[in-house]
Amino acid sequence: MVLFWMLAPVMVLAALGLLFVRKAVHAALLLAVVMVCLAIMYAMQDAPFLFAVQVIVYTGAILMLFLFVLMLVGVDASDSVIETIKGQRLAAAVVGLLFGVVLVVGVAQVTITTVTGLDVANKDGNVQGLAQLLFSKYVFAFEATSALLITAAVGAMVLAHRERLTPKRTQADIAAERMRDYVAHGKPLGPLPSPGVFARHNAVDTPALLPDGTPAETSVSRVLTARGTIRSAPDLADDIDELTRGMRADGEVRPGAPGEAAAPAENDDVNPKEK
């Protein structure tokens, strides 16, 4: 009973969280907490088979399905705060609380005097006892369940299936389209330039430098550009300007000299890389 009083507040809090969290993913995780706690309660109440089924089917399969659909639908699809029916939220809360009070008071008034316990029913083992019931008394319900499951599977396939409206693009189609683009718009046929070539860094966020010193925009991933994590083009151009200026200054001071020892202090960090 100690375990019950430890688990029950956790379950009620997690279930209440289901009402208040904004993000659907958090709701799914809270529901997972409730279900795992419920599984432990089944184990406490002499139902080891249901414990396993609860963990495998509910937390393992159903909640993963929920999370899967959440990922498909969009994780950031949070609840809207706008009430379409005025006062519906408050009314729902009041009616729900009344329902709960009635339910709890009703349960509290019933006194269960004798608890038989499952020791006799489980004497051959819980799974064996359940199997004997399932395949004798409830065999038609069990068969109906199989029909239900197969209907559900087919139904889900029919609902989720989408006919292809356009023919699938093959590799040959893509190659032909690329050639057409080259002819019409002059798009490069080969791969795009890789980042960092001839630049000061060879990191992916540094655009390659073209022979005239300007950064090649196409050499950096579009995603990085959109995030704004690349080193900006003017920034790099500054580097180049500085470098060329330093070289010119070097040349003016000592024309024709190798220029390794007497380089100006501010160009110390660029000059060795240049050579």
Nearer to another protein, 88 or 244 (CB): 88
Q: How many angstroms from the chain centroid is the CA of residue 194?
A: 30
Nearer to another protein, 138 or 182 (CB): 138
Q: Which of 10, 123, 125, 151 binds another protein (CB under 8 A)?
A: 151
DSSP 102: H
Nearest 5°: the CA angle 146, 149, 151 is 110
Nearest-CA neighbor of 274 among 233, 252, 253, 245? 245
Contact positions with another protein (CB under 8 A) in 204-243: none
Q: Which of 50, 209, 220, 263 binds another protein (CB under 8 A)?
A: 50
Nearest-CA neighbor of 213 among 183, 187, 236, 184? 236
Nearer to another protein, 19 or 174 (CB): 19
- Cα–Cα dist 208/194, whole Å: 7
- How many chain residues interact with another protein (CB under 8 A)? 86
Nearest-CA neighbor of 216 among 239, 195, 244, 188? 195
Contact positions with another protein (CB under 8 A) in 79-138: 79-80, 82, 84, 88-89, 92-93, 95-97, 99-100, 103-104, 107-108, 110-112, 115-118, 120-122, 126, 129-130, 133-134, 137-138
Q: How many angstroms from the chain centroid is the CA of residue 89?
A: 30
Q: Which of 35, 36, 199, 216 binds another protein (CB under 8 A)?
A: 35
Contact positions with another protein (CB under 8 A) in 156-185: 156, 159-160, 162
